[in-house]
């Protein structure tokens, strides 16, 4: 199923205006401030997932870890993130986007300190599970918050800024790993995540919640105050009318969020969202991010050199995500996904073949270059596009619940990849492992070509209205076809 790509808004929305006006300098400063603080949740997501790559080699010798032990410690955070994402969606609907991020900031802080001080492997696994609760909830709430507070004409770039902060957090982790590796200070690598967590928690006290959440709780005046800070004054009434229109449709439905998921078009959207979440993970990105030094070590590169070389992985992720941000609102979501998956397929095929070459320094750098090429395609297209689509594609009434469910699936697949990758690497080798990821890219490309929606340029409420009408037209066509068959 693909969403309608028309940019025409429903004509029956009171006060609707077409196009957009340039935001005032004050509004731009306010939006930038919101993005900078809220996206610290993305930076912590990136740091806490990326830092383990440099800490693992030293934890392996400190705790005597096997390949399975490495997988358990790495994936403990991810299974926590799965449950955190599921709880985060519901919590954001109940407590609000801002208050839920406050909760995540507090858990980020405590979890980072607990991981850094862990005396045993079981304690470490439990601490990383708790930290994962914050990572998972922030992975849902941050893009949701940004998508709902951003004006439509910059929503893609603002939500994609969260993706940029995720990879920036990973790059920061790689840089700190490289500096601290000479002292084998893996506890400091893990514990430094507490600093941005405190900044997130503090900064959120100065932010409002989103207009859409305020209106969902009947707090129209507060919604209008926020809109006046993000839009020109003459556009505020139209935006309130658009949100009210969506709320009116929900009132007519008279169903709760869980019952709304029984609606055929909503259920199809949820299944597509879950499919996109699986696509993002089965194509191998986090195997590279979590285990880059281990992968490079299989080519004969030393531990410290492999950790330092991983900086290139973080740097290209940041640059590619910035490129993706600049293109996503111009090119569209579907073309980005399809182009990226094609490039990833070729890169992984070459990467798998490179492990067939004899070990040497030149081969190590060839492997690194192909990993970087793969990540350039991944971060510029698939990573940016999937997170943005999940923040945009669900109707308001179930947005928190549906996005939480999709991201829950994403983290479960992420957990499975992280747990099995070290074992798979030892069992069949790096070459076969990356060819398997390449095969997943081919299947993912076919899925995205068939089902990925296009949401470019549509206000969230306009998109919801078009999806409702498209579903009604689809069912009407089905009834006509059935009638023609009976007559025939």
Cα–Cα distance, 39 to 262 (Å, whole number)? 33
Q: How many CB atoms lie within 10 A of CB 172?
A: 20
pLDDT at 267: 85
10 band by pLDDT with thresholds 50, 70 and 90: very low
Share of the chain above pLDDT 90, in %: 51
Residues 45-56 have a mean pLDDT of 92
Over range 143-161, report the average pLDDT: 80
- State mean pLDDT over 114-120: 96
Residue 370 contacts residue 353 (beta carbons within 8 Å) = no
The stretch 407-428 carries a mean pLDDT of 91
Instruction: Single out the residue in 221, 250, 279 at which a domain terminates.
Output: 250
Q: Is 209 found in the same domain as 150?
A: yes
pLDDT digits (tens, 9 = 90+) for 290-347: 999 999 988 888 889 999 999 999 999 999 989 988 888 888 889 999 999 999 999 9
Phi, psi of 20 (to 5 degrees): -150, 155
**38 Cα distance to chain centroid:** 14
Distance CA 296, CA 76 (A): 23
The answer to whether residues 115 and 178 touch, using CB atoms and an 8 Å cutoff, is no
User: Is residue 333 domain-shared with residue 397, that is, in the same domain?
Assistant: yes
> How does residue 257 score in pLDDT terms, banded at 50, 70 and 90?
low
**Any long-range contacts for 15-21 (C-beta under 8 Å, 24+ apart)?**
15/237, 15/238, 15/240, 15/241, 15/242, 16/238, 16/241, 16/242, 17/235, 17/238, 20/151, 20/152, 20/153, 20/235, 21/231, 21/232, 21/234, 21/235
User: 320 and 195 share a domain?
Assistant: no
**Is the pLDDT assigned to residue 59 strictly greater than 80?**
yes
The last residue of a domain, from among 229, 250, 271: 250
Domain of 442: which CATH number?
1.20.1250.20
Q: Is residue 258 part of a domain?
A: no
d(CA 463, CA 472): 14
329 within a domain of the structure (yes/no): yes
Q: Is residue 301 in some structural domain?
A: yes
**Does 213 lie in the same domain as 335?**
no
Residues 213, 151 share a domain: yes
Question: What is the separation of C-alpha 123 from the centre of its chain, rounded to a whole number of angstroms?
Answer: 28
Between residues 162 and 175, the one the model is more confident about:
175
What is the mean predicted confidence (pLDDT) over 126-150? 90
- From first CA to last CA, the distance across the chain in angstroms is 28
Same domain, 228 and 274: no
pLDDT tier for residue 452 given thresholds of 50, 70 and 90? confident
* C-alpha angle 182-186-188 in degrees, rounded to nearest 5: 100
Among the ranges 90-94, 191-195, 247-251, 450-454, which has the highest mean pLDDT value? 191-195
Residue 106 dihedral angles phi and psi, to the nearest 5°: -65, -40
Instruction: Give the total number of structural domains in the chain.
Output: 2
Q: Which residue has the higher pLDDT, 462 or 147?
A: 147
210 shares a domain with 271:
no
Distance of CA 104 to the CA centre of its chain: 16
Give yes or no: residues 361 and 241 share one domain. Answer: no
Note the pLDDT of residue 471: 64
Predicted confidence band at 23 (pLDDT cuts at 50, 70, 90)? Answer: low
Work out the mean pLDDT of the chain and round it to a whole number. Answer: 85
pLDDT at res. 7: 32
Label residue 199 by pLDDT band (50, 70, 90): very high
Written in H, E and C, the secondary structure of the chain is CCCCCCCCCCCCCCCCCCCCCCCCHHHHHHHHHHHHHHCHHHHHHHHHHHCHHHHHHHHHHHHCCCHHHHHHHHHHHHHHHHHHHHHHHHHHHHHCHHHHHHHHHHHHHHHHHHHHCCCCHHHHHHHHHHHHHHHHHHHHHHHHHHHHHCCHHHHHHHHHHHHHHHHHHHHHHHHHHHHHHHHCCHHHHHHCCHHHHHHHHHHHHHCCCCHHHHHHCCCHHHHHHHHHHHCCHHHHHHHHHHHHHHHHHHHHHCCCHHHHCCCHHHHHHHHHHHHHHHHHHHCCHHHHHHHHHHHHHCCCCCHHHHHHHCHHHHHHHHHHHHHHHHHHHHHCHHHHHHHHHHHHHHHHHHHHHHCCCCCCHHHHHHHHHHHHHHHHHHHHHHHHHHHHHHHHCCCHHHHHHHHHHHHHHHHHHHHHHHHHHHHHHHHHHHHHHHHHHHHHHHHHHHHHHHHCCCCCCCCHHHHHHHHHHHHHHHHHHHHHHHHHHHHC
Instruction: Answer whether residue 15 is part of any domain.
Output: no
Cα–Cα distance, 450 to 443 (Å, whole number): 11
| Domain identity same for 440 and 416 | yes
> Residue 158 above 90 pLDDT?
no
Average pLDDT over residues 161-183: 91
For residue range 91-110, what is the model confidence (pLDDT) as tens digits?
Answer: 988 899 999 999 999 999 99
Domain match, 107 and 210 both: yes
- 397 vs 212, higher pLDDT: 212
C-alpha neighbours within 13 Å on the C-beta side of residue 114 = 19
Determine, yes or no, domain membership for 387. yes
pLDDT for position 123: 96
Residue reference for tokens 């940029």: 164
State the residue range of the domain holding 40. Answer: 24-250
> Can you give the pTM of this predicted structure?
0.79
- pLDDT score at 251: 55
Q: What is the pLDDT of residues 355-371, one digit of tens each?
A: 999 988 899 999 999 99
Out of 23-32, 215-224, 235-244, 343-352, which region has the weakest mean confidence (pLDDT)?
23-32
- Reported as a pLDDT band with limits 50, 70 and 90, residue 480 is low
Do 285 and 425 reside in the same domain of the chain? yes
212 and 321 together in one domain = no
Give the mean pLDDT of 18-43: 75
Number of other residues whose CB lies within 10 A of the CB of residue 95: 16
More confident residue, 131 or 90: 131
pLDDT at position 174, please? 95
Residue 485 lies in a domain: no
The answer to whether position 341 is within a domain reads: yes
pLDDT at 481 over 90: no
| Virtual torsion, Cα 374, 380, 381, 385, nearest 10 deg | 140
The answer to whether 127 and 111 are in contact (CB under 8 A) is: yes
Would you state the pLDDT for residue 460? 62
Q: Is residue 255 part of a domain?
A: no
């Amino acid at each position: 199923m693909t969403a309608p790509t028309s940019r025409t808004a429903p004509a029956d929305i009171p006060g609707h205006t077409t196009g957009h006006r340039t935001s005032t300098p004050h509004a731009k400063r306010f939006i930038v401030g919101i993005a900078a603080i809220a996206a610290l949740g993305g930076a912590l997501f990136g740091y806490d997932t990326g830092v383990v790559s440099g800490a693992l080699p030293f934890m392996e010798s400190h705790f005597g870890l096997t390949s399975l032990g490495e997988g358990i410690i790495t994936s403990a955070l991810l299974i926590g993130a799965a449950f955190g994402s599921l709880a985060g969606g519901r919590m954001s609907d109940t407590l609000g986007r801002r208050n839920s991020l406050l909760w995540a900031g507090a858990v980020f802080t405590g979890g980072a300190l607990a991981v850094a001080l862990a005396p045993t492997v079981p304690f470490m696994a439990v601490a990383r599970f708790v930290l994962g609760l914050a990572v998972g909830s922030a992975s849902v709430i941050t893009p949701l918050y940004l998508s709902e507070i951003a004006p439509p004409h910059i929503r893609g770039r603002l939500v994609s800024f969260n993706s940029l902060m995720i990879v920036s957090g990973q790059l920061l982790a790689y840089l700190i790993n490289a500096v601290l590796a000479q002292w084998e200070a893996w506890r400091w690598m893990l514990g430094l995540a507490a600093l941005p967590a405190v900044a997130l928690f503090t900064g959120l006290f100065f932010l409002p919640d989103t207009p859409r959440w305020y209106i969902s709780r009947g707090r129209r005046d507060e919604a209008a105050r926020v809109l006046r800070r993000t839009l020109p004054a003459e556009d505020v009434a139209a935006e309130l009318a658009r949100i009210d229109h969506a709320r009116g449709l929900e009132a007519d439905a008279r169903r709760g969020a869980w019952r709304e998921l029984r609606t055929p078009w909503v259920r199809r959207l949820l299944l597509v969202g879950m499919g996109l979440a699986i696509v993002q993970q089965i194509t191998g990105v986090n195997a590279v991010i979590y285990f880059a030094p281990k992968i490079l070590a299989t080519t004969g590169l030393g531990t410290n050199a492999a950790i330092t070389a991983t900086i290139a992985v973080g740097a290209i992720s940041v640059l590619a995500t910035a490129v993706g941000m600049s293109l996503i609102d111009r090119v569209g979501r579907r073309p980005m996904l399809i182009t990226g998956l094609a490039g990833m397929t070729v890169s992984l095929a070459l990467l798998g073949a490179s492990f067939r070459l004899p070990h040497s320094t030149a081969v190590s750098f060839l492997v690194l270059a192909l990993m970087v090429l793969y990540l350039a395609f991944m971060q510029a297209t698939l990573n940016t596009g999937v997170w943005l689509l999940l923040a945009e594609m669900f109707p308001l009434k179930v947005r928190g619940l549906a996005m939480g469910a999709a991201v829950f699936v994403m983290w479960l697949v992420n957990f499975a990849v992280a747990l099995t990758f070290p074992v798979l690497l030892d069992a069949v080798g790096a070459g076969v492992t990356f060819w398997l990821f390449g095969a997943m890219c081919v299947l993912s490309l076919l899925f995205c070509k068939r089902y990925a929606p296009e949401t470019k340029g549509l206000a969230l409420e306009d998109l919801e209205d078009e999806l409702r009408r498209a579903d009604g037209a689809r069912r009407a066509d089905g009834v006509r076809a059935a009638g023609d068959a009976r007559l025939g």
